[in-house]
Amino acid sequence: MADEPFPNLVGVSVKQTSEKTEAYNCIAWAFEDNTRWWWPMRGCYWPIKHFRLSIREAFDQAFEGLGWKELPSGQTVGDSTKRIALYEIAGEPTHAARWLGAGVWTSKLGSDIDLQHELGDLDGPLYGSVARIYVKDSSPPV
Amino acid sequence: MVASAPQGNAFRFSTSSSNDARYGGVARWNGSAGTGRYAPYTKDYVALFYENLRRWQSETAFLSDPERIVQHECYKALVEIAPYILDEIVSELNKSSSHLVWVLEDAFGEQPYSDEDSGNMRAMILGWAEWANRRGQVG
């Protein structure tokens, strides 16, 4: 269906883990904050100063400033390594999901609910697809 | 006052003056038969507000990027009518529609909360409620 925001979720059972709320968004939830709406724009919280930065630059610098590194393509990490998947459309961030382990991710869908899902479940016209994985771990890659 | 309803909406307001509750529920006639124009009541704006709010919330529910959220045509309509129904918006803010703080910012060009509170919807709502009280439009 062309208008289906999450075509990979059609007919799939997912675990809802919160009620709907406009209090926080996916980026906040990826960084384990459920009190603020994160985005590098006026009226939103952002962990670094983003004046004169593009959205892309603001995201890059925020991840770096909070101690996260982009995982090189093809490299794998242990199950316990913290990771955040950043979805993009045409190079612009649209959504983030946080790794829970054992193949399960958690996402806050905009102003809607939190849910648990597999990485590709949210691919589609609304979020695009996962463009980068960021990791935060002191242990070496395996 | 000239108020334009959003494109595609059933309402289309265009008048040199407006009606409101003080006219006791009778629409004021603004012209001669055949050329008269309807002047909206406050309750017309309220109906328009909820119509646009529901659609805006529904069609942007899964979005995180505020730029995409405020590009919606209903957001623009909400910004247009916000000055006429501030009390309704503040009432709605106190329920669950936090993103109306962005509508108020664009409608009034104010930021009645500190930069540190940006993104904290609860603090932003409190700032707007206090701002509205200071204006004396909300009891």
| pLDDT attached to residue B105 | 97
Q: pLDDT tens for residues B79-105?
A: 999 999 999 999 999 887 789 999 999
Instruction: List residues of chain A with CB under 8 Å from any CB of chain B.
Output: 5, 20-23, 25-28, 35-39, 41-46, 92-96, 108-112, 126
| pLDDT attached to residue B7 | 40
| pLDDT attached to residue B44 | 86
- B127: which strand partners? none
Q: pLDDT confidence of B38, banded at 50, 70, 90?
A: confident
| pLDDT attached to residue B31 | 54
Q: pLDDT confidence of B5, banded at 50, 70, 90?
A: very low
Q: Do B101 and A43 touch (CB under 8 A)?
A: yes
- A135: which strand partners? A69, A83
Q: Do A110 and B124 touch (CB under 8 A)?
A: no
| pLDDT attached to residue A61 | 97
ipTM value for the complex: 0.92
pLDDT at B13 over 90: no
The alpha carbon torsion through A41, A45, A50, A56 (nearest 10 deg) reads: -70
pLDDT at B11 over 60: no
Q: How far apart are CA B135 and CA B53, in angstroms?
A: 23
Would you mind telling me the total number of residues written for chain B in this entry?
139
> Low-confidence residues of chain A, pLDDT below 70?
1-2, 138-142
What residue of B is the nearest CA neighbor of A107? Answer: B62
Q: pLDDT confidence of B9, banded at 50, 70, 90?
A: very low
Q: pLDDT confidence of B36, banded at 50, 70, 90?
A: confident
DSSP state of A43: T
| pLDDT attached to residue B21 | 40
CA distance B31 to chain A (A): 43
Q: Do A43 and B118 touch (CB under 8 A)?
A: yes
**Chain A contact present for B118, CB below 8 A:** yes
Shortest CA distance to A96 belongs to which of A39, A43, A53? A39
B 56-85: CB under 8 A from A: 57, 60-67
Q: Which residues of A touch B101 (CB under 8 A)?
A: 43
Facing A39 at nearest CB: one of B64, B105, B120: B64
Q: Do A22 and B99 touch (CB under 8 A)?
A: yes
> Considering chain B, what percentage of its residues have pLDDT values greater than 70?
73
CA distance A139 to chain B (A): 32
pLDDT at B18 over 90: no
| pLDDT attached to residue B41 | 81
